[in-house]
Structure 1
């Protein structure tokens, strides 16, 4: 194998920020004269030696005694202490010569006195790497001294060792170090592994290659470095196939295999069976103990022979499963076993898998035992890889079938099918690795289909749409099911990108199926809406919702980009028939219900879809099910429920590598925070949504994030800022906002625009909103329309409009929207010098906001109540205490002072607070007099001083 010339040593310790902080604190304490002791433990290759070297090089306040254990000298008494003392710098006086230590030894008490004396002169760092490999006498003397060093001795001791027992030489080491402070290193996570890969080589690393390297390294940085160094630039970029198995890391695997040499022969034979059984299981799942017992009996191994491996810390049992304590130990076992023994182990496991319900795992084990191509076995595997087997098992079986297939075209088709099931199982990385093994040119439509699904959840929306359109064109002649899936996925990609024309084009190409009339109704309804026929579209979508929600089982058709199980049974193009519990139609029903305004039905559809995903899968749909349900609850005004579902969905999206779903869920969380949270939380989620959505062209998520920020600005009274954010999003034509969200943003925009003195800008938006309200079933729409008209109405009509809005709220329910109407009504009454009348709706608004948890809005209501002459008690859990100077001001003067301190002009303050410029001038003069300042600059400096205001 040609070694890569592109690899280089990493410039920094990736993924060790927490450990580095601990070690830096150790050095800081030592520099101040306070000693401490720390033992870094980790399996081989995780970087404990690199951390020890980094710490030794970072000690500048005094001398360093540093050594690395030499395993070849561990039988020589006091060889470890001899090496440690030989590392002393020439300027350090040693009362004991190293040669004398090697000849006659060094008593533990004498070593303690020596370290104490050296630490009294200057802060001393003692660093021993791999102390578990020291000779026993040196290790005993050092640990004796370490336990008796006081913090004032000026000596810090840093030791590294393997964690747990690793055979004969590790057991005594573990016992000798017991009781000392320990910092255990864990494997690198995916993000840190990616950073290390980027650091290792300047050439581009393909996404599938990254996934394979991360999987093979199992978070071990040393192994990751070795794997990269053994690959060529063409292999790293994905232009040339990766070798299987990947070369590199042989010395590291030797370290994991070393403890196994001392185990009995029959135990090591069982270890090979465990490793072979785990080979086709999900990572970390372990092997079935009953299967191992039967296979061991066939091999003539007595029961209970795993006990020595468990005592050595190599295996551990958990219920009915047995697994290796570390995945690299399993790989070391497989690597060290000769080929004939590995194949024999798989044959034993296949023979032990008896019964018709074990046909698939039996065939997988037979495939592992096959040598070379085996068309008949490959066909049998492909036929057996059907439901109810889990998607992960089907992916593994189809991958084995592909590897056994001599025909290149059939091999590519089976790798693509395996990639699809890996994606459905929630393993997008494995799906990319399998797609990289599709070598036919041109690639089959199935491969484009899976690439499109992957990009739809974790890639640019435009790329996903094009891949899915290509897949649909290639699959149309022989695979109707996936053609429909691909076109609906392309429509979803266009929808997410705000491309109404692209969405209409993809939806109009979805073929009508006589077996699936409900899906055709959904397609026709979406197309009618996008083509400007809203009444026709609403009627069709309502019929679709009634069809899906009215039956006991959902319609089996595939969803718009929601990749339910298409049923890969006997052939890639087979028609699976109805799929019980398929969540995709329920997700479509939720979308349709939201489009026509049936918010409560949308929530019920979302809840049923979530239950179906949890019961039947696929795992890949979990973030979307939670996202749809969260958004439905948000539209219903139930922000707390929306927040709970969105947080769960965000965790699922992160686990499954679905960054597009994460961006949408961040936007939902930002909207929830704009009501019940605080401005800082809202801004953080909005920023996360934009950061994820921007590069991938997800206009829908960025629009929702901007709406959330604007609503948070509105909640704290910054109406001009809110209007500026919303104005570009609500107008007709090619605007920055998403076409499907314009009507939902109108009530917020009208409120912000009117309060900011831009009422003329809002009139056209209200007329468009009225047209939508005439046909929607959204229960909040009539009240929101009446509120918008009240904001724009002359004084003679406004009160009646507000009363009309409140009457609609009484019929529709929803504390949040009703409270907003009451707040605006009270504000209008107060501005008309009717403070007594204003207090009633304001009190009701405060109670409603508190009841629905909209704490961000409560402060605004309290300010209005104070301005209306009624002291409103502050919420100690949410509000802050003004600084002492502000206590001298009235509530209105405080608001004026804060606005001016932020840099607003008197005219801008007047628009923000809905008062005249003359009133602002009057309040500002009184603020200057009360606070003793003479300019706006002094006022800003005073309010910017540290304090809880």
Structure 2
């Protein structure tokens, strides 16, 4: 290295919101009750940082910090003394870092202390223990918060925070890939590079991750004093390296160890098993991936080669390892890093011909073949193939350095085009979509002369980027037929490169692409008659296909046609196929289509379940754009519930990515979710203001394929806000959309909109027509909304018997689909009729109180007794702001609008079925 960089502290904690949540909950509960929590994770993931954050965030009382050392038993005694000293006064937070380093006696005292904390009162214990070894039995029963490696985007954000964004993109990619989500390792890598290397002015003078950096972060976690244990650890580390998974066959490992140490005869399982390892189901794994990497990196090179050679021999003798793992172990047993042409060719050929191998393993094989290849063009092609497989495996942070390596050599246009295709697809999922569009167009032009099928894939993905950006003209251009002599490109579809190892699938895939292109362009041009047949054919092909790309296109075509059942089927089959192939790249997109289909069908709980899983999968795969889509779906699902703060959180996160990366579709969905939440909570003016920007003509109109879906919400909000005239023009557009036939709900929604605007002598008939159309289309939520509006209209015209029936139907529909905020409106209307004094059966709504959290129930009782918010805050030892926040949620959950109504509801509920005064959930 040419020098060392001074790395400043990060401004904030990155990628730990999920782990901060339980810690924050513990801190928030301490004014009322004690608790304890264990924070665990491998070395370098930030256990100490999280404890420091908790100590800084705690404001309700003192903080006691304890650490390991020779006086640990006395320290544990000090803990008990401190608990006794503060009992009955202010809450106490105790932070114990690295509790696993305490000796057995001290750990026992500490574990005993946790049993005394809750009875002792308002004391919280926050422990940090290592995750590179089995959990100590003393702490095994405590609730755990586990720190996982940061996602690639979070790691990149941390790197930018540490360096003020001054790192060159190629160097940034290598550091993020090498750190593998470990913040401390990322710090260590930064310190090992000079400022000139970080800025790309000098080439990196060594491997991005060396043994020294790994050992620095792992500390003593990787070491062992026993020679046999060291050989076992090394062999497991070497075996996992070629398995593309967290574990390996224990019998294979022990066979290889016997070859390394002929005099030894270790049993199965070995006794005692090194603490760094775990054995389950005949499989061995490291508790920590960082420790595994360190064990392999610090071992003597000749010993590593011996381990890989022993594993290859054992696998060949067993004849059960497959060609790729055996060849990889053979390649790593060679004496030097230089070219080994026959072995490189065999590795590449095995990766080409093993379509069923995991994508990650094939990426490793292609990359190793490239390292052993002398010819620059061939080496570039193999690095590109490795990047393709890494992207399919959901590892974009691994694909980017491989693409940089591919650029180093002189390569033909077809190879450069493939590299640009992978780069563009990576940007499409995790970058500005405008940049992705241009990169993909470049890829298409480079690929067109020699690889027309790949060029079509690139052009298809370019159209997808234009769709995401909301650029209708550019999307139509990309969907236009190709000039004579060439094929056209397809519409928005799964942006993935066809697996080069399955050429037999090309004709079927090409047919799907052609039909999808024709149908999609016709649909966007407003010609449903010419779109139905080709898109319908795409849907039908998906019913019998088994490739995830084809199934995803089937789901997309079904959504365009409004066939939500076919979209759900295609999405579910695509999800199963992607999981079976181990494609972490395609799983988030399959879940996205499933979530959209459930949303269109009005099944909000199912949409939320798919989107929650999809969000986790997208973040793991480093796909911030896909994650933004899932957050928008979650915001829409939450907009019908009773938690506006949840809507706001998802919307803020979705828009943060959408605005940076130009995701017009996400922006429209997120703004619609906010407006729908406002409408459900009885704020039509706010909803109309926000929706007007999306649906009314003008430069700020929403995404071309989404804004019409929000028109019924806008009409309802505008009418309730007294702004009838604003609806005229947009309602004409919506009537055209309903006549188009691509949205099964549109006809019923159109009749509802006309009823809202109609004079009294026509409104009743229009509402009834809308309900009849809903019966044909299905969908609980939209039908319940129409029934609610009709019931309100009837009640205000003094037709209570008819209103009661419709409002009861609306309430049942909202309850069935989890639309709590709308159910509260229906209950309010029924109460106004005298048909509902509390619960849906006419009796006190005792069940409604069970929806409240313990803190909300305490606040509701105090308010019902006549206490002001300030008096409640003083009684509960919380801030007035906290009481205000919880009281708003109480009003939304119970569907009440005044303190007097709340008092009556609580009184009726407790007279009907007394609830324990402890405040616990019944």
CA contact (8 A) 1:218 1:327 kept: no
Select which of 453, 473, 478 maps to 2:450.
478
Aligned CA distance change for structure 1 residues 763 and 388 (closer, same or farther; 3 Å): same
1:436 counterpart SS class: helix
588-597 or 700-709, which moves further after superposition? 588-597
Where does residue 559 of structure 1 map in the other structure? none
Please state how far the C-alpha of 1:640 moved relative to its aligned partner.
2.1
State whether residues 723 and 752 of structure 1, in contact with CA within 8 Å, keep that contact through their aligned partners in structure 2. yes
Q: How far apart are the structure 2 equivalents of 1:146 and 1:740?
A: 58
Alpha-carbon deviation of 1:55? 12
Of residues 396, 401, 420, the one that matches 1:428 is 396
Cross-structure match for 1:512:
487
Q: Which residue of 2 aligns with 1:522?
A: 516
Residue number in structure 2 paired with 1:382? 348
Deviation of 1:861 (Å)? 2.4
Corresponding residue SS for 1:529? helix
- Measured in 2, the distance between the counterparts of 1:846 and 1:20 equals 33
> Offset of 1:132 from its aligned partner?
10
Deviations along 1:3-28, one digit per CA (max 9) or x if unpaired, are 223435668998999899999x99xx
For the Cα contact (< 8 Å) 1:241–1:437, is it kept in 2?
A: no
Distance in structure 1 (CA, Å) of the matches to 2:144 and 2:783: 55
The corresponding residue for 1:638 is 603
Give the Cα–Cα distance (whole angstroms) in 2 for the partners of residues 350 and 212 of structure 1.
Answer: 30
**1-side partners of 2:66 and 2:534: how far apart?**
78
**Cα distance between partner residues in 2 of 1:833 and 1:225:** 71
Question: What is the rounded CA distance, in whole Å, between the counterparts of 2:97 and 2:329 in structure 1?
Answer: 43
Give CA deviations for 1:806-844 in whole Å, capped at 9, x if unaligned.
222233333322222222223333444544543343333
Question: Greater Rg, structure 1 or structure 2?
Answer: 1
Quote the offset at 1:455 in angstroms: 1.4
2:441 to 458, 469, 472: 469
Partner of 1:659: 624
Task: Give the SS at the match of 1:736.
Answer: coil
Tell me which residue corresponds to 1:545: 536
Contact 1:471 1:486 in 2 (8 A): yes
- Residues 574-653 of structure 1: pairs in structure 2 closer than 5 A: 581-653=546-618
**Offset at 1:730?**
1.9
Does residue 394 of structure 1 match 2:385?
A: no
Q: Does 1:784 align with 2:749?
A: yes
Question: Quick one: structure 1 residues 274 and 15, their matched pair in 2 at CA, closer, same or farther if it must change by over 3 Å?
Answer: same
Does 1:288 find its partner at 2:249?
Answer: yes
Kept in 1: contact 2:538–2:554 (CA 8 A):
no
Secondary structure of 1:806 counterpart: helix
| Residues 562 and 742 in structure 2, CA contact (< 8 A), matched pair in contact too | yes
Q: Does residue 339 of structure 1 match 2:301?
A: yes
Residues 483-513 of structure 1: CA deviation (Å, up to 9, x unaligned) = 2222121111111111001111222266538
Contact 1:267 1:308 in 2 (8 A): no
Question: What's the offset of the Cα at 1:786?
Answer: 1.8
- Partners of 1:553 and 1:361 in 2: how far apart? 33
Distance 1:797 1:366, change over 3 A: same
2:323 equivalent among 349, 352, 359: 359
Given the alignment, which residue of 658, 661, 666 partners 1:701?
Answer: 666
Deviations 1:119-172 (A, max 9, x none): 99xxxx9999999999x9xx9999999999x999xxx99999988989xxxx9x
- 1:400 offset after TM fit, Å? 0.6
**Per the alignment, do residues 408 and 522 of structure 1 end up closer, same or farther by CA in structure 2, a change over 3 Å counting?**
same
Name the stretch that deviates more: 268-277 or 448-457: 268-277
Which moves more between the two structures, 801-810 or 872-881?
A: 872-881
Distance 1:735 1:842, change over 3 A: same
Distance 1:286 1:886 in 2: 61
| Stretches of structure 2 lacking an aligned partner (at least 5 in a row) | 86-92, 489-506, 853-859, 868-883, 885-897, 901-922
Q: Taking structure 2 as the reference length, what is the TM-score of the superposition? A: 0.74
| C-alpha distance in 2 between matches for 1:624 and 1:178 | 39
Alignment check: 8 A CA contact 1:593 1:599 kept: yes
Once the two structures are TM-superposed, the CA of residue 217 in structure 1 deviates from its matched residue by 4.7
For residues 152-200 of structure 1, the C-alpha deviation after alignment (integer angstroms, 9 at most, x for no partner) is 9xxx99999988989xxxx9xx99x999999999676448755664454
Q: CA deviation at 1:391?
A: 0.7
Q: How does 1:65-214 map to 2 (within 5 A)?
A: 189-190=150-151, 197-198=159-160, 200-202=162-164, 204-206=166-168, 209-210=171-172, 212-213=174-175
Residue 792 of structure 2 aligns to a residue whose secondary structure is helix
Query: Cα offset for 1:551?
Result: 6.7
- Deviation track 1:360-403 (CA, whole Å, cap 9, x = no partner) reads 11111122123211222222211111301111111110011111
- Segment of structure 1 superposing worse, 372-381 or 156-165: 156-165
Residue of structure 2 equivalent to 1:406: 374
Q: How far apart, CA to CA, are the structure 2 residues paired with 1:767 and 1:282?
A: 56
Secondary structure, counterpart of 2:547 in structure 1: coil
Q: Is the 8 A contact 2:456 2:487 kept in 1?
A: no
Q: Comparing 694-703 with 646-655, which one deviates more in the overlay?
A: 646-655
- Deviation, 1:332, is 4.1
Deviation at 1:620, TM superposition (A): 1.0
Give the total of aligned pairs: 797
Structure 1 residue 722: Cα displacement: 1.9
1:244 to 207, 212, 222: 207
- Do the aligned partners of residues 841 and 266 (structure 1) sit closer, same or farther apart at CA in structure 2, a change above 3 Å counting? closer
Q: Is the 8 A contact 2:131 2:287 kept in 1?
A: no
1:332-362 CA-partner distances (Å, limit 9, x unpaired): 4434433333223322322222248711111
Q: Does the CA contact (< 8 Å) of 1:829 and 1:837 recur in 2?
A: yes
Deviation at 1:449, TM superposition (A): 0.9
The reply to whether residue 863 of structure 1 matches residue 828 of structure 2 is yes
Deviation at 1:698, TM superposition (A): 0.9
**Contact 1:783–1:808 at 8 Å: present in 2 too?**
yes
Q: Give 3-state SS (helix, strand or coil) of 1:353's partner.
A: helix
Aligned to 1:750: 715
Given that residues 6 and 202 in structure 1 are in contact (C-alpha distance below 8 angstroms), is that contact kept between their aligned partners in structure 2? no
Q: Distance in 2 between matches of 1:549 and 1:180?
A: 52
Q: Find 1:771's aligned residue among 731, 736, 748.
A: 736
Question: Mean alpha-carbon deviation: is it higher for 45-54 or for 725-734?
Answer: 45-54
Distance 1:607 1:805 in 2: 31
Native 8 Å contact 2:655 2:670 kept in 1: yes
Task: Name which of structure 1's ranges 381-390 and 766-775 shifts more when overlaid on structure 2.
Answer: 766-775
Query: Quick check: 1:713 aligned with 2:674?
Result: no
* Partner SS, residue 637 of structure 1: coil
> Which has the larger displacement, 200-209 or 375-384?
200-209
Equivalent position SS for 2:279: strand
Unpaired segments of 5 or more residues in structure 1? Answer: 30-35, 70-79, 85-107, 555-580, 888-901, 903-923, 928-949
Q: Deviations over 1:764-784 (max 9, x none)?
A: 222222222223153322222
RMSD between superposed Cα atoms in Å = 5.1
**CA separation in 2, counterparts of 1:808 and 1:55?**
55
- The residue aligned with 1:446 is 418
CA distance in 1, matches of 2:643, 2:66: 52
The alpha carbon displacement at 1:723 in A equals: 1.8
- Secondary structure of 2:278's counterpart equals strand
Aligned to 2:237: 275
Q: Spell out the pairing of 1:303-342 with structure 2 (5 A cutoff).
A: 303-304=265-266, 310-342=272-304
Pair 373,632 (structure 1): closer, same or farther in 2 beyond 3 Å: same
